[in-house]
A = this chain, B = another copy of it.
Amino acid sequence: MTTTSLDRQVETRLSGQGVRYTKGRRAVVAALSHADGPKSAAELHDDLGDGVPLSSLYRSLTVLEESGVVALHHGTKGLTRYEIAEWIAGHHHHLVCTECGLVEDVEISADDEIRLRSVIDQVSTTASFSPSDHSLEIEGRCMRCA
């Protein structure tokens, strides 16, 4: 099992919270880090091979989410998808295919991001809402389904 710089970041975060970075959790983080968008538990289960039972997978995901290493995304068909948290993977937005359910990460320019933030701040102030995060969800058809 190779230790990447990602592993080191995660390890540090987890140990700071007294949480172990076990083999199963490493496998989940590795699988997510290779993905080009958030993945469902079922997709991860496939990726990881049949050795990892779904219940353990869900438990790993729960721990990683509570530790802030993994973030949740709720999408097509009510499925929960999981991705590496933005403080590690970087801030991004989502392209969601309404046909096949694929969710792909995309980044927008720093300028556009700044403009987006000002829109968010304005709208939030008006609504007495305290924003902590945001995501532009763009629905449509992906390359394969178009």
Interface residues of A (CB under 8 A from B): 74-76, 78-80, 93, 95, 97-98, 104, 106, 108, 112, 115-116, 119-120, 122-124, 126-143, 146
Contacts and interface: CB of A to CB of B under 8 A. Distances in A.
Give the oligomeric copy count.
Answer: 2
- Max count, chain B CB within 10 A of own CB: residue among A78, A123, A135: A123
Contacts of A127: 95, 104, 106, 143
Contact of A140 (B112, B129, B139): B129
B135 A137 contact: yes
Given A108-B119, A124-B140, 12 more contacts: A95-B131, A112-B119, A124-B138, A128-B143, A129-B138, A130-B141, A131-B138, A131-B139, A132-B139, A133-B139, A134-B139, A135-B137
Nearest to A94: B137
